[in-house]
Amino acid sequence: MTLTPQWLDELRSRITLSGVISRTTRLTKAGREFKACCPFHNEKSPSFTVNDEKGFYHCFGCGAHGDAIRWMTDQRGLSFMDAVKELAAEASMDVPAPDPQAAQRAEKRDTLFDVTQGAQDWFVDNLQGADGAAAREYLASRGFDALTIERFGFGYAPENRQAMKQGLSRFPHDKLIEAGLRIAVEDRDPYDRFRERLMLPIQDTRGRVIAFGGRILDAANKNAPKYLNSPDTPLFDKGRTLYNMHRAAPATRQSGRIIVVEGYMDVIALAAAGIEECVAPMGTALTEQQIELLWRHAESPILCFDGDAAGQRAAMRAVSRALPLLRPSHSMRIVTMPSGLDPDDVLKQQGTEAMEALLGKARSLIDMLWLHEREAVPLETPEDKAGLKARLLAHVDAIAEQDIRALYRRELLDRFSAFAFPKREPTRGFEKGAFKQRNGNRPAPSSPENIGRLRRSADGGSRDAFSAAILAGLLRWPAEIARHAETIAGTPGLDKRFATLLDCCDAGQSLESGDLSTILAQQGLEVPKPSEYSGLRFAFLSGDATAENASGELAQAIELLVERPALNQALAQATARLENELSDDAYAEQQRLLKRKLEFDRRLVQMATKRAAISQVT
């Protein structure tokens, strides 16, 4: 079994060191690093640091130092190979199997670096020759100076289909094909992949040339793609590579940000203007691997795609890819470019200050979701608005991290409610101050009209311990009622007491627990008692709960409350369909919903018993 340096570098690049260490050691964020009390020696103040950007940990007290593999061997006590295997499984990498030819493959990979570097030198020489005149004119028209041309390694590929075979004759022909520089086809002579193009080297994180991108110079040739990249090779995986990362990473450590643009030329134009922390994907939408790579360098990368429709679609594809990956403190920001302009256009027309101003106004991911879906189609009818809500919740459902999903649902539903149900004037009988009667503190009765309107969605609702616990939580934390009013009002089959609380909220009055209890009594409804929700020990019902903690857990509980009737109905329908059809599709759908129901029950039990578990520990 041979583990080449390249393979080990790839393994380290796919692992987030702080994620590995935080499984056994509590880390605290400190700027761009993490700190902790050193696990290798006893200390009272933290001197142990973890740096994800550089990929190592270090203790200033005892001198312990290493990468993810060293951590697994020194702290976990694993052998080197066991540590590699465990990390490789996490990174979805296959550990090279015992193979006598492994060393030969590693050697072949090294020789491909020689081939790609030789091709880069040849392209650069061609740019300076007679054949490169048109390419030099194009670079001059873009305003690139000699330093920028040299720094980014611009070159030129001649028109001749066999030029590279002659220019790189010192390398075996099969190596040129393997490196993606030549194309072999049946019944025809191999030919150069890049012809009559301005060439740019694509480099790995260590600055080694691994592939190329070529821009066409003959604008009249509409049959040829404007940009052409190397194919995937033993050196190059376009889904895991970001152009200019080896230059952007050091700049990111200084600025604290990393910017993603659509193309090579935007990266180079921004770098020439002094904005050097820029990268670009390989002509495709951002992949999950590229997003993780970005997060290794900055917690909130800035997407800066073109202002046309294609650019905005690319931004939304990146957002969709990022949603399932979101985790605490890791997100994205999106810059909305002026219509029809790319970053290079903005720099030329308005200057660097205008570009920096746009970057400073980057929207959060949730803002981008809201604006994109709100403007996707006209919202003129109730059906249109319902479609907006469905699209927003579909995005929310894609988020894997439970807390982030709950917070996104709450925020987007708040925005939807404010948009679809704008605040109305207080209803007659509930004008400001109507809760207080002249002769005391007894609250005035609720408006019969409002109660009837809101109860229609709750009539026939059954009582259960879960609903009673949430009611008790809303009574204890009345400020939360308004936040979730529209969500609860639109959920059928709820306990009738919810309607009365919502009716009070609709009055626009500051609510107090005592007033709400009195209003329930006046309507002939009981205040939820602990015996009604016995066994459900939610944190928002505990005596030491804070408003912030209660707000978060109530939002999660109400999310489950709203999901429950829809899930039960869907499962019942799927079961009925299975009884009638007995088809594979019907069975698969019933099993999918059954699995979702079991997951729902698990989440509810976990939430409702969390407080009990904490109490036992403490």
Domain count, the chain: 4
Q: Distance between CA atoms of 448 and 499, rounded to whole angstroms? A: 12
pLDDT score for 526: 75
Exposed (0-12), middle (13-18) or buried (19+): which is 468, by Cβ within 10 Å? buried
pLDDT digits (tens, 9 = 90+) for 76-111: 767 788 888 888 888 888 887 665 565 555 555 558
Answer yes or no: is 443 within a domain: no
Q: Distance between CA atoms of 108 and 102, rounded to whole angstroms? A: 10
Residue 612 clears pLDDT 50, i.e. is over it = no
Same domain, 261 and 150: no
Same domain, 275 and 397: yes
Same domain, 207 and 338: no
Tell me the C-alpha to C-alpha distance, in Å, between residue 326 and each of 5, 192, 490: 31, 42, 29
Q: Distance between CA atoms of 269 and 142, rounded to whole angstroms? A: 9
Q: For all residues of the chain together, what is the average pLDDT?
A: 80
Q: Domain boundary at 42, 69, 90, which? A: 90
pLDDT digits (tens, 9 = 90+) for 473-503: 887 777 777 777 777 776 777 777 777 777 7
Are the CB atoms for 461 and 494 separated by under 8 Å?
A: yes
For residue 174, give the CATH number of its domain: 3.90.980.10
CB contact burial 262-271 (16+ within 10 A = b; e otherwise): bbbbbbbbbb
pLDDT score for 331: 93
Q: Distance between CA atoms of 407 and 394, rounded to whole angstroms? A: 14
Answer yes or no: is 16 within a domain: yes
Q: Domain boundary at 90, 113, 142, which? A: 90
Same domain, 15 and 68: yes
Same domain, 84 and 135: no
Answer yes or no: is 430 within a domain: no
Same domain, 285 and 328: yes
pLDDT score for 146: 92
Answer yes or no: is 389 within a domain: yes
% of the chain beyond a pLDDT of 90? 29
Same domain, 115 and 157: yes
3-state secondary structure 363-383: EEHHHHHHHHHHCCCCCCCHH
For residue 416, give the CATH number of its domain: 3.40.1360.10
Q: Distance between CA atoms of 615 and 618, rounded to whole angstroms? A: 5
Q: Distance between CA atoms of 523 and 450, rounded to whole angstroms? A: 13
Answer yes or no: is 40 within a domain: yes
Answer yes or no: is 131 within a domain: yes
Answer yes or no: is 617 within a domain: no
Q: Distance between CA atoms of 243 and 28, rounded to whole angstroms? A: 32
Answer yes or no: is 385 within a domain: yes
Same domain, 232 and 245: no
pLDDT digits (tens, 9 = 90+) for 352-408: 999 999 999 999 999 999 999 998 888 888 889 889 999 999 999 999 998 899 999
pLDDT score for 567: 78
Same domain, 400 and 454: no
Are the CB atoms for 287 and 321 separated by under 8 Å?
A: yes
- Sequence-distant (≥ 6) Cβ neighbours of residue 364 within 8 angstroms: 331, 333
pLDDT score for 194: 94
- pLDDT, average across residues 586-591: 77
Are the CB atoms for 363 and 356 separated by under 8 Å?
A: no
Residue 438 clears pLDDT 60, i.e. is over it = no
- pLDDT, average across residues 186-215: 91
pLDDT digits (tens, 9 = 90+) for 123-140: 999 999 999 999 999 999
Domain range holding 40?
A: 5-90
Same domain, 140 and 190: yes
Same domain, 267 and 358: yes
C-alpha torsion angle, residues 502, 505, 506, 510 (rounded to 10): 170
For residue 25, give the CATH number of its domain: 3.90.580.10
Same domain, 383 and 489: no
Tell me the C-alpha to C-alpha distance, in Å, between residue 402 and each of 327, 360, 364, 438, 553: 9, 30, 19, 48, 11
